[in-house]
A = this chain, B = another copy of it.
Amino acid sequence: MHPLVEKVLQGEVRATARLLRQIDDRVGSWREALAQLYPHTGRAEVLGITGNPGAGKSTLTDQLVASYRKDGRRVAVLAVDPTSPFSGGAILGDRIRMQRHALDPGVFIRSLATRGQLGGLSRSTADSVAVLDAFGAEVILVETVGVGQDELDIAKLAHSTVVVMAPGLGDDVQAVKAGLLEVADVFVVNKADRDGADATVRDLEMMIGLGHELLHSGAHSLGHAAGTLDLAREAHRTLAESEWLVPVVKTVASRGEGVPALREALAKHREHLAGTDRGAARRAQSARENLRVVFQALLLERATTCLGEHLERAAEAILARREDPYTAATELLERFLASPRAP
């Protein structure tokens, strides 16, 4: 067995941190370690916290950590958001605020700043979630910025995803259209003591209801849909409990307000998943996503190593307009597939 694996399974913090670094740097027998840990995963509750910068995701994450700790649950935070104080990317005041968990052995904080390689962030997140799960974290909070494709992909790894908004950020209804509606299991309108909070809640409920309405009526025309806005809001209140109707929770995270209501909404979503096919579907999606990011990374790695300088030569041909990107890429693909299968 990998020397660190046993210690991780016993819940040792330092060994876990070391293994996570080894996996990120791909040193030592990190793959064996992951393989050995994997049978011990699948117990943690993985929660995604996402939303635009400035919505207050980190403050809310901080409050959730405190709330789970009060219940004695072991918590891990994975900060994928480059603007998060957890990841060291925010202004000084925020970072100091985070320190309160730094000395709590029941809280494991890790930031993932990897950028630059395709899908690298999703893969690091998937690997880290597996290690923290095997380590014994009961709740894993994954904080991401909710705009890019990578970040939406990361949401697919979570069992429940919280989308955080704030009134007056210019991101309320617009952000819903930015693909966030499809990943949100719970909406939070944070900074709910600000002007416009109720309007934001109303807009969101309308959008959610409208989403359901569209889903059920099969209507795809927006012109048609516009007439059903009132119906849609009504639908949000009355839709049968058999389906998950994304709730909208108001919080003032800086004062801890609304956090119990958020915990309750998350517990309800967990129950909903446990009691329906959608729970199994969600777990299957998470497994598929995990496979996808790892497979793509391995495949691209192999192709890049195998092709070596041919990649640069093809780029030069494109630059000189001697070749177009598709022709060049097709040639590279054939070359890769025809090459000897060296590792």
Contacts and interface: CB of A to CB of B under 8 A. Distances in A.
B319 A287 contact: yes
Nearest to A40: B321
A52 interface: yes
Interface string A313-343: 0111011010111111110111011100100
Contacts of A151: 147-148
A147 B81 CA distance: 9
B287 A315 contact: yes
A83 interface: yes
Given A148-B148, A150-B150, A325 B174 contact: no
Nearest to A180: B82
A338 B341 contact: yes
A31 B149 contact: no
Count of this chain's copies in the oligomeric assembly: 2
A337 to B, nearest CB: 5
Given A118-B292, A295-B328, 14 more contacts: A34-B326, A38-B324, A52-B52, A83-B171, A118-B149, A121-B149, A145-B148, A149-B150, A287-B318, A288-B315, A291-B314, A291-B332, A294-B329, A299-B336
A313 to B, nearest CB: 10
Contacts of A119: 118
Nearest to A315: B288
A214 interface: no
Name the interface size band of chain A.
35 or more
A150 to B, nearest CB: 4
A290 B83 CA distance: 28
Interface in A116-161: 118-119, 121, 126, 130, 145, 147-153
Given A148-B151, A149-B150, A296 B300 contact: yes
A231 interface: no
A284 B53 contact: no
B83 A175 contact: yes
Given A178-B83, A298-B333, A38 B321 contact: yes
A299 B303 contact: yes
Nearest to A54: B170
Contacts of A153: 118
Given A89-B174, A283-B319, A341-B337, A291 B325 contact: yes
Interface string A83-126: 10000011100000000000000000000000100110100001
30 contacts: A39-B321, A52-B147, A53-B174, A54-B171, A54-B174, A82-B177, A82-B179, A83-B178, A89-B174, A115-B179, A118-B119, A118-B149, A118-B292, A148-B148, A148-B150, A283-B319, A284-B319, A287-B318, A287-B319, A290-B318, A291-B314, A291-B328, A291-B329, A291-B332, A294-B325, A294-B326, A295-B333, A299-B299, A299-B336, A302-B337
